[in-house]
Homo-oligomer: A and B are copies of this chain.
Amino acid sequence: MSLTATGRALLTMMALGAIFLIEVPLATGAPSSKATAGALMTSQTDIQDVSPALAAFIDNKLVGEVWKRPNLSPRDRSLITVSALIARNQTIDMPLEFKRALDNGVRPSELSETIFHLSFYAGWPNALGAVGVAKGVFAERGIGPDQLPAVSPQLLSMDPEAERTRAARVQADVGPVSQGLVDYTGSVLFHSLWLRPDLKPRDRSLVTLSALIAAGQSAQIPFHLSKAMDNGLSRTQASEVLTHLAFYVGWPNAMSAVPVMKTVFDSRPNSSAPK
């Protein structure tokens, strides 16, 4: 089959995920990137043409209110939103949210590392979808290899006590079912991925927690919410993660996370109550 130059350009753009369904105003007042990408975007009038109520809701409530709520910075909200999209493999919305993340102060190295991190917590086919989009965004913004995390950086130091506890628990719980899974959980995740310096442990936890809530993975929330709070995420912030995500992953996923999050909060009586 022979393709014209147009055809090949289109296929390349599709592979790069450069099909922007919608442009909504940036929460932070940063200038929109319409100039570069406008030709491919569907304007917000598309939502207007199908559901004026949804268009008004996005303007007034989501962008105009939720993103501006206290307790989480726009940067944190971008990390949370990007993680939810990757966890749910929603490539259509990624170009806008990846750019918004960079505009909100997420560093290119952090976005790159978030994708690498979620290749393990959402599966690597999900990471590949995000790679296609990020490549286009990085190219558009002139982000080169010098801004990306190294393959084998100097790792952060490990807390040997916490790691002994974790390893013992995984060996006890998972060992009788799959020693391979035990081994890779140690070597690939906790002795390597979690110690990479390009995403702070608190942010790595925020990304993981967001992906778990987004995918309805309640059973894995207790361990990772505890770890997130150990890593510096406050109870107030964790509460607000849930509020923000309800809009991006739907009420049912948010509500299903409530009882397991409550268990963790109750087990840490010294954590401040949510406002």
Whether, in the assembled complex, A162 has its beta carbon less than 8 Å from a beta carbon of chain B, the answer is: no
Known contacts A123-B247, A128-B21, A129-B21: does B262 contact A52 (CB below 8 Å)?
no
A58–B151 CA distance with the chains assembled, in angstroms: 12
What are 30 A-B contacts defined by CB distance under 8 Å?
Answer: A7-B10, A11-B13, A15-B21, A15-B40, A21-B128, A46-B135, A50-B112, A50-B138, A51-B149, A52-B145, A53-B150, A54-B116, A54-B124, A84-B123, A89-B89, A92-B128, A118-B250, A122-B250, A173-B259, A177-B262, A177-B274, A178-B261, A178-B274, A181-B243, A181-B255, A216-B217, A217-B253, A218-B219, A219-B252, A220-B255
Chain B's nearest CB lies how many Å from the CB of A126?
7
A112: contacting residue among B51, B128, B212, CB under 8 A: B51
Copies of this chain in its oligomeric complex: 3
Chain B residues with CB below 8 A from A120, complex form:
246-247, 250-251
Contact B256 A220 (CB under 8 A): yes
Contact A184 B138 (CB under 8 A): no
Chain B residues with CB below 8 A from A127, complex form:
51, 54
Chain B's nearest CB lies how many Å from the CB of A95?
12
Chain B's nearest CB lies how many Å from the CB of A111?
9
Chain B residues with CB below 8 A from A11, complex form:
10, 13, 19, 40
Chain B's nearest CB lies how many Å from the CB of A271?
12
Mark out the residues of chain A between 34 and 60 whose CB falls within 8 Å of any chain B CB in the assembled complex: 39-40, 42, 46-47, 49-54, 56-58
Chain B's nearest CB lies how many Å from the CB of A196?
7
Number of A residues near B (Cβ < 8 Å) is 115
A50: contacting residue among B12, B93, B148, CB under 8 A: B148
Whether, in the assembled complex, A226 has its beta carbon less than 8 Å from a beta carbon of chain B, the answer is: no
